[in-house]
Amino acid sequence: MHTPMSSILCFVAAAFLGAFGQFLYKAGAQRATGSIMSYVFNAPLLGGVACYIAVMVLFVAAFKRGGQPSVLYPVYASTFIWAAFIAWWAYDVPIKPVHVAGMTCLVVGMYLMGK
């Protein structure tokens, strides 16, 4: 069975939003003081929750369009790649050659899983 490109693009967007949600959770954690209200009224944390809700909506949309899990879930593994780039952008975390090698393995694995 064929997975439509629109389903794959939904999962690419979901992967980015998942990584961005992680970034927002980290930013929210840095602002939290430990009180319940510092979590409830924490814009970055709420943004992270919104990202994860969007991820689930995109998953459903991708499957509704006929996407196959064996093709789509490996695409979602690109979350780790997006997270590395966001960490580099937001926190100056270096992307080392070993990280690039790992990203390459992820991309090759995504390709092979989709075959």
pLDDT at 1 over 80: no
pLDDT at 115 over 80: no
**Confidence (pTM):** 0.86
What pLDDT, in 10s, does the model give residues 99-111? 999 999 988 988 8
What pLDDT, in 10s, does the model give residues 17-67? 999 999 999 999 999 998 999 999 999 999 999 999 999 999 999 999 998
Rg (CA), the chain: 16
Which residues neighbour 61 within 8 Å (Cβ) at sequence distance 6 or greater?
A: 7, 10
Tokens, residue 62? 């991708």
Q: Give the pLDDT score at 15.
A: 96
Q: Give the pLDDT score at 14.
A: 97
Q: What's the structural domain count of the chain?
A: 1
- Asked whether 32 and 38 are in contact (CB, 8 A), the reply is yes
Instruction: Give the domain extent around 28.
Output: 5-114
Where residue 2 falls among pLDDT bands split at 50, 70, 90? confident
Please report the DSSP string for 52-103 in residue order: HHHHHHHHHHHHHTT--HHHHHHHHTTHHHHHHHHHHHHH-----HHHHHHH
Where residue 71 falls among pLDDT bands split at 50, 70, 90? confident
